[in-house]
Amino acid sequence: MKKVVFITGTNSGFGWLTAHSVAALGYTVYATMRDTKGKNEAKAIELGNVPNITVLDVEITNNESVTNAINGIIEKEGRIDVVVNNAGYFGGGIAESYSVTDVQEMFDVHVNATWRTIKAALPTMRNQGEGLIVNISSGLGRFSAPFMTVYNAAKFAVEGLSEGLHYEVRPLGVDVAMIQPGAFPTEIFGKTKTGSDESVVAGYGELANIPAKIGEGMGQLFEAVKPNPQQVADAVVKLIETPKGQRPLRTVVDLATGTFTETANKAVKEQYDNFLTAFGMQDLLK
């Protein structure tokens, strides 16, 4: 059966590669991006010319835009099988420089938008008794590195949504899974935002220079390790191709520092199983 797949943030990076990779399997792909008649017009046209891909203009921070898009897909296709929540942007700099509005914007794109697509697609997936939700998290959703604090916090929230929901809906035939990428040379670093309250930066003295050094270190890492963003798209494809009920909650894709994340995942999983058992939820582990 040709699966119907909905992917956000497909104008670049992981989303662009994932759309191509999934479409190459013969699945029906609905690739979303915003501003398809403006700054993303060329990308929308190019992606829309790929067999099995339909490009949709969706604003993921708008309830009506997301709901209308997913309802339209369900009405046309009669089902929706996979949702890949990929859209996002990177945030760095001194945490104190982030205003409340800055934090709200970060969470709206990474957390609320993820929940919007889930809320729109989950009823149909439940009725089908089958479905897959893939949320692109990060190793920084497991541990919080300094000078990326607000971005990390948003990814922590994605982890929390995904982990609890994974156990709630798996008995209904719906799998929730996360990809935890490390650093990859994609366009996301060209979309980096910093806090809007620059008045606090001077008070940090030499510490204010660290974010720039992080960027330099990341460039050296890319040169040494040469991580390929296609690996993330391949991990999404592997989840789609894995039979339901057998998909892992977390998949780490990180050549450089992934052992850190994998070790943390394993340790937490052991204690998490004990926690569910202690509270009488051991059947959810099956």
Catalytically annotated residues: 151
CA atoms within 13 A on the CB side of 19: 31
Phi, psi of 31 (to 5 degrees): -100, 125
Residue with tokens 């059947």: 283
Amino acid identity of 252? V
- Contact assessment for residue 79 and residue 128, using Cβ atoms and an 8 Å cutoff: yes
CA distances from 65 to 34, 72, 136, 266 (A): 10, 11, 21, 38
Give which of 179, 88, 70, 90 is closest to 135, Cα–Cα.
179
Strands 174-181 and 53-57: unpaired
Amino acid identity of 219? G
Cα 131 to Cα 50: distance, rounded to the nearest angstrom: 24
Residue with tokens 């692109």: 136
Cα 192 to Cα 151: distance, rounded to the nearest angstrom: 10
Amino acid identity of 281? M
* CB neighbour burial string for 99-111, b if at least 16 within 10 angstroms, e if fewer: eeebbebbbebbb
Q: Tell me how far apart the terminal alpha carbons of the chain are, to the nearest angstrom.
A: 26
Name, in order, each residue with C-beta under 8 angstroms of 280's C-beta and a sequence gap of 6 or more: none
